[in-house]
Amino acid sequence: MPITWQQWLIKASTRLRAAASPSAKRDAEIMLGQVTGVARTRLLAFGETPLTAAQCLMLDALLLRRERGEPVAYLIGEHEFWSLRLQVSSATLIPRPDTECLVQRALELLPPAHADVLDLGTGTGAIALALASERPAWRITGVDRLPEAVSLAQDNAASLGLNNTQFLEGDWFAPLQMHRYSLIVSNPPYLEAGDPHLAQGDVRYEPRSALVAGEDGMQSLSAISRQVGAHLMLGGWLLLEHGWQQGGAVRTLLTDAGFSHIATLLDYGQHERVTQGQWLA
């Protein structure tokens, strides 16, 4: 007898809870929606609908991968950020909800009128594309050293119909020459090489190059802070996302680099997450 949508959701949720998934029911719903092509509300309303044999095989394969800890975003190839559906891949970090705090602050710092904005280490293009969707008059450049990430960000921009962006391949400021920006944002790698979280949960499957920044986690933040002054307009702003215990160290970096109006903002969990500074040197 064929298994129904509801029966599969119960089975999958039970197995994922046993595997210590923090969002077992939601994970199961996402996978079922991906395979059936049906929205969550319809899955729940018509739970008696039977699965085909082919769908069962696909779902069982996805469920096994999720039980082993592979992120749902990698299983289905997409993730939502700032209400935008973004393609993701194992070459890029999965955008985090707390990064939306950086986006919100960026939108507050500059008026909607034309501005040149730079997103360093753009990955999927999440930050750049969120800003582009809110500020059509802004011209936003994303940079990433991985060609796979640049290609993915370009594909996301095209699928979202956002033509006020460009994405370049290079290491931090290398492909930019001496162009100056009104705002520079970045969510760079900031974990320590020995951080125990690297061996836990979804993070195990994400690229180390997008997570780890030297032994103390400060290598990328320090490199950006040293070089950024040559690429900011007078009065321009820098926004850096960082670890919840790195606020003090990042404020020191910006002070030493010559920034003014330095402040650290809290994330949704009330942890220090984003530090800003204005370039008036």
Q: How far apart are CA 99 and CA 75, in angstroms?
A: 22
Q: How far apart are CA 74 and CA 94, in angstroms?
A: 8
Q: How far apart are CA 63 and CA 1, in angstroms?
A: 21
CB neighbour list of residue 105: distance below 8 Å, 6 or more residues apart? 239, 265, 274, 276
Q: Residues within the annotated binding site? A: 121-125, 144, 172, 187-190
Q: Residues within the annotated binding site for S-adenosyl-L-methionine? A: 121-125, 144, 172, 187
Work out whether strand 84-87 and strand 272-279 pair parallel, antiparallel, or are unpaired: unpaired
Q: Residues within the annotated binding site for substrate? A: 187-190
Inter-residue contact 43 to 9 (CB < 8 Å): yes
- Smallest CA-to-CA distance from 254 within 217, 228, 219, 215 is with 228
DSSP state of 268: T
Please give the single-letter amino acid code of residue 46: F
Whole-number Cα distances in Å, 153 to 138, 158, 198? 17, 9, 25
